Structure 1
Amino acid sequence: MMVSFDYKTVVTTLHELRKSGERKSALVVTLGENLIHQGYAGKLGDEVWAVYEQIFIAALDLGNDTLATKCLENLDKRFPESPRVKILKGMKLEAEDNLDAALSMYENILQDDDANVAAIKRRIAVYKAKGQDQQAIEALTKYLDAFYSDAESWLELSALYLSFHLYQQAGFCLEELILLQPQNHFYHLKYAEILYTSDNITVALKEFCRVVELCEDNVRALLGIKLCTSRLLNLPTSAITSSASSSTNSSFSLDMKTISDLNGLAIERLSIIYSKNQRGGNSANEIKIVISDWLGCDLS
């Protein structure tokens, strides 16, 4: 039985996806193919070019080369000298694993406009795809000097630094993100995990506590608090005092009682959270046993 094609619903759905930034590629391709094959594209007016671009990117995601080529040809015919269309051509070259040609395409765009953000980001993506992480770091650093408030790029730069075990530099990126979005618990969590990995336990504990303050019962943060407090409880009191006094936040004080209380609270909250998980299966039960042993409590 053939399902009727609702033109208005399709156009509205595609518009809402562009507006929200959601990348539901399978849905976009399905709707887009129907829109094009049934001859409705001509009814879109000027909106058709945004739709072609949207369908093109979704088609690349799914490896639908025929659909991607058709959309790109229509865009290129209408905007033959457009830098935006040239970037789409570069993306198609990337999808075909022709990375050198794609890089050359982006370099040419940047020669004419060195502030073309899309070209800068695609060039960075090519550097990463070619395994040229050092060039990607340099390009991201230069980009962030000009576009400081791009949170996504700070996170990307942090991940690149982490791949080289450069924890101080990765931590700096997260500090910048926290300055930009202080209420984003995910950035505090990433920062805390970097601090813990680099053995800065007291400041890591502070950041894990901040995550719980912003996002109650965040399991990763509670596990972080448990890890930090367990480490600190095994240190001499003098070592804890010295470590706390060197913290970047002078208002953050630590003593054995505070550490012990935090440890107990983390265990209590984790016990409650995992006890609520009543899903069956051997794997779930085995996980509960491991967590129960680690927390030193009964989760049944």
Structure 2
Amino acid sequence: MAASFLQPPTGSSPQTAIHLSQGAASFLKSQRSAFTLPWPLTLFLNTDSQEKWAIYENTLLACLRTGDFDSAHVALNAMIDRFGKTNDRVVAMAGLYQEATADDKKELEEILEGYDDILKEDPTVFSIQKRRAALLKSMGRTAEAVTAVSALLELSPTDAEAWAELSDLYFSQGLLEQSIHCLEEVLVVVPNAWNMHAKLGEVTYIAANRTEAAGEQSKLLAESMRRFCRSVELCDDYLRGYYGLKLATTQLLTSLPTQKKSQQSDLPPIASVQKLNELATAKLANILRRSSSGEKGWDGYSAAELAAVRQLLDKDTQKIQR
């Protein structure tokens, strides 16, 4: 239980979040004895550790995600007792709890006003700036959310999380060029983030399919392919990376033969693209086979991901049969 809660539940599957939430009540109950003494006397009990409070925070997140607001409230109060109401992270967690339990838009507006009041006193409270931007986004006020995240980045230009959020906001508005730029900024800060390389490959692939110029489309597809290659280079057996690599190379194999010789100098050789396509196909087939058979260590892929892979590989089979 404790080991599971050391990992944030926000990116996990719904089933995993439910499982963690179901164990929250018993975990919180087991921790009550630790508060028989006030802090800092609790240090003598050897229970006040960074891992412990990471578990409390992740407990709170899992419970909010599954609607167990009672357990979430217990976890939040424990954090308030330990760190105080004015701690930046506690204030952000309290705001998240209020957002999750708000009944209507009016209450959300009040929470937003509360964030504004905090930021008037101290504009550098990054945790509240991020919560404010997230709340604006959830309320459909995308333009204001873009402004909020941009203001945050002016104060902290190396915040990879903020750049990634700004990319998502631009993408939701169809501004692909700006979204790509933001993802490139993410990779300046965290160059080995394989998931962000794959994300950049995906947005570039979409941009390629939205352009009408054949030459520009091939260049974008080639760049998308390179990003997916870097993704799987950093993380072998990364399904999303190989899936994107398969899509990009398949489309490149169709577009490259139509390019003029003068345009092909900046594009990868067809033979190289073909080899990468075959590699992606083999890797995806291997992941699908081993995961579907329940092989140990290959159970981390979601059913939706595996279904998408199966559908993609079936298309190849159908083409060969024809």
What is the TM-score of this pair, normalised by structure 1? 0.72
Deviates more, 1:100-109 or 1:58-67: 58-67
Equivalent residue number for residue 233 of structure 1: 253
Equivalent of residue 316 in structure 2, options 287, 294, 298: 294
Structure 2 Cα separation of the partners of residues 258 and 70 of structure 1 = 54
Per-residue CA distance 1:183-202 (angstroms, 9 max, x = gap): 22111111111111100211
Q: RMSD of the alignment, in Å?
A: 4.2
Please state if 1:210 is matched with 2:230.
Answer: yes
Structure 2 Cα separation of the partners of residues 261 and 295 of structure 1 = 18
Unaligned residue ranges in structure 1 (runs of 5+): 1-9, 247-252
Q: Structure 2 matches for 1:137-286, cutoff 5 A? A: 137-199=146-208, 200-235=220-255, 237=257, 239=259, 245=265, 253-276=267-290, 279=293
CA contact (8 A) 1:86 1:105 kept: no
| Change over 3 Å in CA distance of 1:115–1:255 after alignment to 2 | same
SS in 1 for 2:275: helix
SS in 1 for 2:274: helix
CA contact (8 A) 1:240 1:255 kept: no
Q: Structure 2 matches for 1:61-210, cutoff 5 A? A: 62-65=67-70, 68=73, 72=77, 75=80, 87=92, 89-97=94-102, 98-199=107-208, 200-210=220-230
Per-residue CA distance 1:259-299 (angstroms, 9 max, x = gap): 2333333334334444445539xx9899758624425699x
CA contact (8 A) 2:76 2:93 kept: no
Equivalent residue number for residue 249 of structure 1: none
Q: How many residues align?
A: 274
Structure 1 Cα separation of the partners of residues 291 and 96 of structure 2 = 44
Q: How much identity, in percent, do the aligned residues show?
A: 25
| Change over 3 Å in CA distance of 1:122–1:241 after alignment to 2 | farther
Please state if 1:30 is matched with 2:26.
Answer: yes
Per-residue CA distance 1:97-124 (angstroms, 9 max, x = gap): 2211111111111111110112211211
CA contact (8 A) 1:222 1:270 kept: yes
The amino acid across from 2:276 in the alignment is L
CA contact (8 A) 1:202 1:244 kept: no
Per-residue CA distance 1:29-68 (angstroms, 9 max, x = gap): 43224544xx6522353368x96x9479456554434872
Structure 2 Cα separation of the partners of residues 154 and 204 of structure 1 = 19
What is the TM-score of this pair, normalised by structure 2? 0.67
Structure 1 Cα separation of the partners of residues 87 and 292 of structure 2 = 56
Equivalent residue number for residue 212 of structure 2: none
The amino acid across from 2:37 in the alignment is K
Structure 2 Cα separation of the partners of residues 72 and 235 of structure 1 = 59
Structure showing greater Rg: 1
SS in 2 for 1:45: coil
Structure 2 Cα separation of the partners of residues 84 and 255 of structure 1 = 51
CA contact (8 A) 1:223 1:266 kept: yes
Per-residue CA distance 1:214-270 (angstroms, 9 max, x = gap): 223433333323322222222354627566655xxxxxx512222233333333433
Equivalent residue number for residue 7 of structure 1: none
CA contact (8 A) 2:170 2:176 kept: yes
The amino acid across from 1:216 in the alignment is D
Per-residue CA distance 1:104-149 (angstroms, 9 max, x = gap): 1111111111101122112112212221111111111111122122
CA contact (8 A) 1:124 1:139 kept: yes
SS in 1 for 2:119: helix
The amino acid across from 2:115 in the alignment is Y
| Change over 3 Å in CA distance of 1:142–1:44 after alignment to 2 | same
